[in-house]
Amino acid sequence: MKLIKPTKQYVESWSDLIKELEEAGGRGFWLIPEKSESIDEYLQTVREHEQGKNLPDFWVPATTYWLVDGDKIVGHCNIRHQLTEKLKQIGGHIGYHIRPSERRKGYGSNILELSLKKAKALGLDKVLVTCDDSNVASIKIIEKNGGLLKEKGVVDKKLVRRYWIDFA
């Protein structure tokens, strides 16, 4: 299992997971900010976003990674290089998502653990990770990876937990 930048090598798995996500009725980070028509378009978008180019309004530069197990993409994460006021409330530095068919297999903990290493390598001293107060799985994943609950707050009528993970 490894965390890699998106690549054409996994085009078949990428196509399968987009179909799976759509069938499950989800959006998630896979469609950034909208569904790409091809793997080439998707790869160009994630490269541009990493460089801070062609960002949608209110977005910040972010590096995208896939969690790959064998020849299958099982998860996706975005590591935001900085925070806006909105991201300080909800979103944080790291957003991650596991494809529906691979949930409850430990991949969530794996992707956050590996994402933290990438965030540190990007030069971040600490990261903010948020989740809905009702998302028990994410709460466990964040706390298992050293997240310390800073506060809870209401965003868009949802109670959100804000965790800091310090690399010191």
Q: Tell me what pLDDT residue 37 has.
A: 75
In angstroms, the CA 28 to CA 163 distance is 20
Q: Do 98 and 111 contact (CB within 8 A), yes or no?
A: yes
* Higher pLDDT among residues 35 and 79, named by residue: 79
- Decide if pLDDT at 133 tops 60: yes
37-69: pLDDT as tens digits: 788 988 999 999 999 999 988 899 999 999 999
Scan for tokens 């989740």, then name that residue: 131
Calculate mean pLDDT across residues 81-107: 94
In CATH, which superfamily holds the domain spanning 2-166?
Gcn5-related N-acetyltransferase (GNAT) (3.40.630.30)
* Domain spans in the chain, listed from the N-terminal domain onward: 2-166
Residue 147, phi-psi category: left (phi > 0), alpha (psi -120 to 50), beta (remainder) = beta
